[in-house]
Amino acid sequence: MKDTGTSDAALVELCRRGNTRAFDELVGKYQKTLFNVALRMTADYDASEEVTQQAFVRAYERIASFDPRFKFFSWMYRILVNTALDHLEERKRHDRLDDEVPSDEPDPSDLGEREDSEAMLQAGLMDLTAEQRAVIVLRHFEDLTYEEIGAVLDIPEKTVKSRLFSARMQLRAVLVKRGYRFHG
Amino acid sequence: MDKDIVTELLNKELDGILTAADRQTLDDLLAADENVRTLRRDLQGITHLCAESQPVDPPATLRPAVRREIETIQNAPARTAHPASGARGILEFFSRLFAPRPQARLAYAFLGGIVFGGLILALVMNLIQRGTVREDEVLGSMVTADPAESAWTTIPVSTPLVHGKISTQRSGTTEGVQIDLAYQGSGLLRLRLDIGTRTVEMLRQAPPQPEDAVQSHGALPRVEIQDGQILVHGNQIRDLRLVFRHAAPDARPISIELFEGEAPLYKSHLFEQ
């Protein structure tokens, strides 16, 4: 996990004393990383903005209950991933209700100007379950260790490992099914 | 070739956690089997694909939007939950009930009647449910009734707000779950178990402890059994014992989620294969 150092702890302490500028600094520091996690989880640019914003607001509302023994960034990751999972659950419910309406499923290529392989990768990620996607995103895009992923998702390391292994196999299968060619 | 072993070794290789013995086994498998080489190439391809991916800049509106929200929260303390807000709500309800507008009064009285009737019904149903529990008979089908014994699997729960453990045991089509959680937040802790098609054979809660009395949400959590779900509301969930019965040996795991009000705090699965 990224070295968040003591400066995060100091900023969090200032936030707890009501200093909103300190929280704004934390937002500035982590918005890009967290936005990209949300984007990988939802494949929807607008929804990712909403999810990231909501996660920051939730964090601010609960900053008083933050345990300083933990890293702020792990805690923030956890809030973001949970917010993204909530959003996906809500979207699924909404889609079920709107079966008759033309699908509003996000376009996996809605990622700015990306290469085809990128779009294919994102489409493959969206074919995984949200739980599988979360471990892939945290491991491969955020470079978190098993232990850190376990802390973010609140699951034992053993579960992280088995979920990650099966998610990789599943991702490989869906990419092959979508016609992606792996090169030697 | 054992597919599980190959998968595990290749995944370990990707994460850089192969032991020397693993390395040797994997090298032998790679030398002997074209399929293993292909799988390795594909998994490494996924890693490279992810690593090459460039992060996207967030919209410029994100940070100012968060700032505005924070300022709104700062400037509107009334938005935050206040212990007196429930009492104020009741007073407001009664003042509206007795307001000099006959139509509104009738509507409130009607709604109040429905709510009151619902509460009475829920209470009666709850009593009936508890009254039918034959604990000894149900526990007799478990391997052991004591969660401290090795037949039970214990999952520690440690989040910034909730600490404790969840113990599980499966014996044939009977599953036992014991939940002990202490909550340190100020809101209302909610627990949701998605039990699917399982039936609840037994529900038991430990009697309230002296220290529970100081908590503001009542000593014993409130338990609601709905179709496919169990909801628990309360700030301390102590020795909550549930025994389930399922018809299929491959029943889906039970999903367990904790919330502070509507905000998720913890999620896991019980009886995962």
pLDDT band at A25 (very low <50, low <70, confident <90, very high): very high
Check pLDDT > 60 for residue A48: yes
Instruction: Give the lowest-confidence range in A50-54, B19-23, B177-181, B214-218.
Output: B214-218
Chain A 31-50, residues with CB within 8 Å of chain B CB atoms: 31-33, 35-36, 39, 45, 48-49
DSSP letters along B211-264, please? GGGGSTT-SSPEEEEETTEEEEE-SEEEEEEEEEE-S-TTPPPEEEEEEETTEE
Q: Which residue has the tokens 């992606």?
A: A180
Region A161-171: mean pLDDT is 94
Shortest CA gap A103–chain B (Å): 25
Please tell me the predicted confidence (pLDDT) of residue A51. Answer: 96
Distance from CA of B94 to the nearest CA of A (A): 32
> Count of H helices and E strands in chain A?
8, 0
Give yes or no for A26 touching B (CB within 8 A). no
Of residues B113 and A32, the one with the higher pLDDT is A32
- Of B189, B196, B176, nearest to B241 by C-alpha is B176
Q: What is the pLDDT of residues B87-107, one digit of tens each?
A: 555 555 555 555 545 556 677
Pairwise pLDDT comparison (A18 vs B221), residue with the higher score: A18
pLDDT at A122 over 80: yes
Nearest to A141 by CA among A40, A67, A18: A40
pLDDT of residue B27 exceeding 90: yes
Specify the pLDDT at position B81: 40
Radius of gyration of chain B (CA): 27
Phi then psi for residue B257, to 5 deg, are -135, 140
Choose between B41 and B252: higher pLDDT: B41
Q: Hey, what CATH topology would domain A5-177 get? A: Rna Polymerase Sigma Factor; Chain: A (1.10.1740)
A69: helix, coil or strand? coil
